[in-house]
A and B are shown apart, each in its own frame.
Chain A
């Protein structure tokens, strides 16, 4: 079977739209926001051209978008939306309800930095702000990975042992508008891969079993509290089950499509590495180039790329980190109050599993659309190497700000 229908040159937003189209959603709802807007316009074109049989709702705001999709999903529809930054913030109220309702939605977050200051450019502060809302989060490095991950996301979300919404993250500007070669899988391959659609078996509009979903649950009495805790535990189980499901789905997709992506954590040139950079999203390409250059210069460096951020792959990160003696974690967001990037904070949590307190440096860059270049990563490699000789407790408890005004040559 020919698993590729065609090869196109497109940006990440169009790649996501291709992935959605092939996954055959029933209802798409959207409100325009930069840098997402063109993504759903591509979907709209597929619908207008008769290539996708879906209802597209052009509603009055993101809060309505996700509310409408909750209704659609409860009624049995496969759904899709995409948003960015402030749109995600406005979506927050239905957003936090979606995992608890166990609605297996797929939505793209075209990552954008958060206000204020006012800003319309890329950054990952939007997604990092909702990291504990209960959605699964996967981050893509290339337009091809965006397309493939959107398709995989439906199978992960709708897996009966998971039943959780998935955000497929791709960086605003660099991935949303960056153009590259993309292979489009053939429809029969995707149809076979996704199988039958069954998104609301747990809360169906079933005339034989009518029920009111989500009544008040909890309270001070022991029974109410225990019932609420049971729902929370169930959500946690779904999240932990997702680690295995995500891994299995990536393996199945490799068989179906012929393309392989690391499901949880990608290890790049980590064998015999002394230090590693930890990256997430589109920055990883430049980091790998910098590592290649460092290797050519005799420096034993590698990259640990986080693909799945929720559930956080603690074991996989610990395993990768266990191979090196120092880490430099590069974030495109800030964890206020920890004075480091959020990925850095989480990686340090995972390091606890290794029982080794190795030096970890936090680098924060790429805010508000700033470019993270090979030079930034070369500097990060150098600083991380220097940290090898520094006891962790002697490291400055502050991030290295890439793109900062005092940085001179690297701007």
Chain B
């Protein structure tokens, strides 16, 4: 038996040098992710990292695992597709607040609902960095530094934690890019937690939001003894959250999504159903839509059964 080489964090980084601005929080996210991958001790080819569009979505190119640079906002839909096709892979989606909560906002809600076993690293800097500093869905309404909205947006920001909880997320942790060791621990916990997990990372953009350097003083560990485990409990606990509470904030126990599997039905099954239908008051129940080929649930109907029904109803 061959020895499995022990991979270090460095092994999970590619040779491509990131082109993020100096001081960008995303460097630390890359470090934390590589560290988490090493800690998980999984082969590089067993991990898939899917991103959207934006500064933070460049992440896959800088790692050595499977990567795909997707469309703006679509990382979660893509990642779910990868996971359904290859359930053996550890699937991680990554992107920013502008990507995941605006155009991707719809996918964000439905990924929380669907609870596919994958992890979403949401790097939040409350700004569109790649297009040079416009307000994002998490930007405060009175931020006036954008050329596009010089008097502020005047619209209330999205709170990713509350949004995710309301939509039924199964795991939510918040970390700070300035603390990559803790962040790596959160990423590992998220990946190990069954179902859909979100790692919300406060990742400063020092280019367009220089004031975010003060986040280092603003973040604080959750003072709860343990993560909330019930949706209602978490919603109560974090209703007035300041957005800077770090740690594992919610760990639910919903079973991960599995596509419903229906047993293949035989002609005998259909004949039995037909007998039941004929005995009932509505003899045509369940037969009017029958046709050859895959049915509504992907079940291929045997032709003999269809003929039987069609002749019976003719």
Contact = CB atoms under 8 A, between A and B. Distances in A.
Interface residues of A, number: 21
A49 to B, nearest CB: 9
Contact of B134 (A58, A61, A115): A58
Interface string A98-136: 000000000000000001001000000000000000000
Interface string B127-153: 010111011010000000001111101
6 contacts: A31-B102, A40-B148, A41-B148, A44-B147, A48-B151, A90-B72
B174 interface: no
Nearest to A49: B150
A45 B153 CA distance: 14
A121 to B, nearest CB: 14
B71 A86 contact: yes
B69 A118 contact: yes
B150 A37 contact: no
Interface in A28-61: 30-34, 37-38, 40-41, 44-45, 48, 56, 58, 60-61
A38 B128 CA distance: 13
Contact of B148 (A44, A63, A115): A44
Contact of B105 (A30, A37, A56, A60): A60
Contacts, number: 50
Interface of A: 30-34, 37-38, 40-41, 44-45, 48, 56, 58, 60-61, 63, 86, 90, 115, 118
Contacts of B102: 31, 60-61
B147 A41 contact: yes
Contact of A33 (B69, B131, B149, B151): B131
Residue in B102, B105, B131, B148 whose Cβ sees the most chain A Cβ within 10 Å: B148
Given A34-B131, A44-B148, A90-B103, A58 B153 contact: yes
Contact of A58 (B53, B72, B135): B135
Interface in B32-59: 53
Given A61-B73, A90-B72, A32 B131 contact: yes
Interface string B223-254: 00000000000000000000000000000000
Contacts of B53: 86
Interface string B147-187: 11111010000000000000000000000000000000000
A319 to B, nearest CB: 43
Identify the 8 closest CB pairs spanning chains A and B, nearest first.
A32-B131, A41-B147, A61-B103, A60-B102, A37-B131, A48-B150, A32-B134, A44-B148
B135 to A, nearest CB: 6
A58 B102 CA distance: 11
A90 B72 CA distance: 9
